[in-house]
Amino acid sequence: MPEQLQSAPRTDGVTGFGAIVVRVAAQVLETMFFEEAVATACEHAWLPTAVTVHVSFEGSHRGEFLLSVAPDTARSIAAGFLGLDPEELTGTQAAEVILELANILCGALMSTLWPESALSLDTPELASAEHAFLGSMHCCFTLPDGMVAVSIGVSDGDGAA
Amino acid sequence: MPISVMIVDDSAVMRGFIRRVLTLAGFEVSECLEASNGEEALTGLEGHSVDVILTDINMPKMNGEELLRRLEMDARLRSVPTLVISTDATKARILKMLSLGAQGYITKPFSPEALREELERVLGEKYA
Amino acid sequence: MKSLIVGISDCKVSNDLDSTLVTYALGSCIAVVLYDPATKVGGLLHYMLPESALDAQKAQQNPFMFADTGIRALLQAVTASGALPKRMVVRLAGGAAVLDTEGVFQIGKRNYLAARKILWKAGVLISAEAVGGDVSRTIRLDLATGRMWIREAGAIEKELMQHHSPRKAVEGV
């Protein structure tokens, strides 16, 4: 396992950033993907096989957002969003839905963390799980079919934790 | 009454979600044009008239803000109702888009039912 | 006026204009109520759990215990009685936060998410709902008019009006 994964920061309890990520991620996953996400203690053994998406943002804050989703969870999320059975999904569809989930989650988090901000988000891209941690902000979630991890790194601006 | 629609979003699966809501909400969709950015949308709208334009904001090449500006400058397209569908829930952004002529704004994530309601509001009673 | 009573893990479909479909004391359970105004066919399902995968044997004995098998069976039954999915009014009630056997409040919410997911997959949108919170609900559907009435514990009976956005109507889910 890459060293970054072992030395990764832990889920940030229920205060500040952690509480906002927990609330926003649960709301996003319930509203459009019909999944229940429960914040959980970090466990990262699954990360090397995860579908990981990277989104850069810039404007009043600059930084990067990372979403990692376990493969079975990705299929279940994608199937829910598209209104299909997981068996009917193509690999491309599953990846595209996770890219859009990252876009929605990142945008919703930015709007909630920094409601006065003016930000623009880059197009989400698939990334390697080795880069799953960029900053000190990180949360893990359990869904019925597996796990989801969210990380945010802020490189400048006044929003850093 | 049948409606024709232009959906502008850089995510194909999000365009699919919106299309599904349109169909399930009971709108009779006669034509559904799609574009993955503002530039493609303007090209697609040449020689086409639509009843409503649904657009994202963050898109490559030409974003939704610039698209609304271009629509405002076009005598033919200026009167077409636009509904913005974006992850950006900041007040400044919403006010900006409304000042550029958007008639509706819904933030992602939204439930299928919430989009139906906003569409019905923007389109008015004649299409409901 | 006859009352056709739908029990827990039960489902009834009818087009008898002299009847009302009724289910009592919905806690974390969900009632899915379908009605086709053209044929006046109505159906009411009262399920307990979100997924038949929890107990495949029980699901085979009684599909109405679970959201997935129950909603599928309800849709089939109303369609077989002449209802058209695209005409149907779909309403939900229940899904309250009630302590489950593990002492957690999640089952109502899971039941609600399961209904939304299955209905989206089945291609029908929800017209109205009274879900969440921590109250017990009794509901009835008048088959002649399609009007649905809801009585929350300790309150008077009210009509559940259509076309409320779920995100706005739901509190505490």
CB distance from A87 to chain C under 8 Å? no
The span from the CA of C20 to the CA of C12, in Å, is 11
In contact, B41 and B77? CB cutoff 8 Å: no
What pLDDT score was predicted for residue C99? 72
Confidence of residue B128 (pLDDT cuts 50, 70, 90): low
HSE-up of residue B70 (Cα within 13 Å, Cβ side): 16
What pLDDT score was predicted for residue A159? 44
Least confident of A32-36, A150-154, A155-159, C65-69: A155-159
Min Cα separation C152/chain A (Å): 25
> For the complex shown, is ipTM > 0.85?
yes
HSE-up of residue A124 (Cα within 13 Å, Cβ side): 24
**Which residues of chain C have a pLDDT value below 70?**
100-105, 163-173
Cβ contact, residue pair A32, B63, below 8 Å: no
Cβ contact, residue pair A34, C113, below 8 Å: yes
User: Which residues sit opposite A38 in a β-bridge?
Assistant: A142
Structure tokens, A136: 């000190």
* Range list of H helices, chain B: 12-24, 38-45, 64-73, 91-99, 112-123
What pLDDT score was predicted for residue C51? 93
Q: Report DSSP letters for C95-154, one per residue.
A: ------TTS-SHHHHHHHHHHHHHHHHHT----EEEEBTT--EEEEEETTT--EEEEETT
Strand order in the sheet with C148-152: C2-5, C19-26, C137-142, C148-152, C158-159
- A123-155 in b/e form (b: 16+ CB < 10 A) is ebeebebebbbbbebbbbbbbbbbbbbbbbbbe
The percentage of chain B sitting over the pLDDT mark of 90, rounded to a whole number, equals 84
More confident residue, A153 or B98: B98
The span from the CA of C58 to the CA of C52, in Å, is 8
Q: Name all chains with 3 or more CB-CB pairs below 8 Å to chain A.
A: B, C
What pLDDT score was predicted for residue C169? 32
What pLDDT score was predicted for residue C102? 64
Predicted TM-score of the model (pTM): 0.90
A88: buried, middle or exposed (CB in 10 Å: 19+, 13-18, 0-12)? Answer: exposed
What pLDDT score was predicted for residue A18? 79
Residues of B with Cβ-Cβ distance to A32 under 8 angstroms = 17, 108-111
Residues of A with Cβ-Cβ distance to B11 under 8 angstroms = 96, 99-100, 103
Tell me how far the alpha carbon of residue B56 is from its chain's centroid. Answer: 7
Return the number of CB contacts < 8 Å for B and C.
25
What pLDDT score was predicted for residue A128? 81
Cβ contact, residue pair C166, B24, below 8 Å: no
What pLDDT score was predicted for residue A136? 65
Closest to B60 (Cβ–Cβ): which among A32, A114, A123?
A123
More confident residue, A160 or B72: B72
Q: Report DSSP letters for chain A, one per residue.
A: --HHHHTPPPP-TTSHHHHHHHHHHHHHHHHHH----EEE----TTGGGSEEEEEEEEESSEEEEEEEE-HHHHHHHHHHHHT--GGG--HHHHHHHHHHHHHHHHHHHHHHH-TT--EEEPPPEEE-GGG---SSEEEEEEETTEEEEEEEEEEESS---
Cβ contact, residue pair B111, C116, below 8 Å: yes
Other Cβ atoms closer than 10 A to C77:
17
* Position A7 pLDDT exceeds 70: no
More confident residue, C4 or A14: C4
More confident residue, B115 or A154: B115
What pLDDT score was predicted for residue A114? 85
The span from the CA of A83 to the CA of A28, in Å, is 16
Closest to B114 (Cβ–Cβ): which among C123, C124, C165?
C165
The span from the CA of B18 to the CA of B16, in Å, is 5
Average pLDDT score over residue span B72-96:
93
The span from the CA of C137 to the CA of A127, in Å, is 48
CB distance from A30 to chain C under 8 Å? yes
Amino acid making up residue C162: Q
Strands C2-5 and C19-26: parallel
Q: Which of A28, A29, A30, A88 to mutate to test the interface with C (most CBs of C within 10 A)?
A: A30
Confidence of residue B87 (pLDDT cuts 50, 70, 90): very high
Q: Which residues of C touch B (CB under 8 A)?
A: 86, 116, 120, 123-126, 163, 165-168
The span from the CA of C139 to the CA of C93, in Å, is 8
Phi-psi region of A111 (alpha: psi -120 to 50; beta: other; left: phi over 0): alpha
What pLDDT score was predicted for residue A4? 38
Average pLDDT score over residue span A74-82:
96
Comparing alpha-carbon positions, the chain B residue that sits nearest to A98 is B13
In contact, C140 and C22? CB cutoff 8 Å: yes
Average pLDDT score over residue span B87-113:
93
Closest to A81 (Cβ–Cβ): which among B12, B17, B91?
B17
The span from the CA of B41 to the CA of B7, in Å, is 8
What pLDDT score was predicted for residue A132? 58
Residues of C with Cβ-Cβ distance to B112 under 8 angstroms = 120, 125
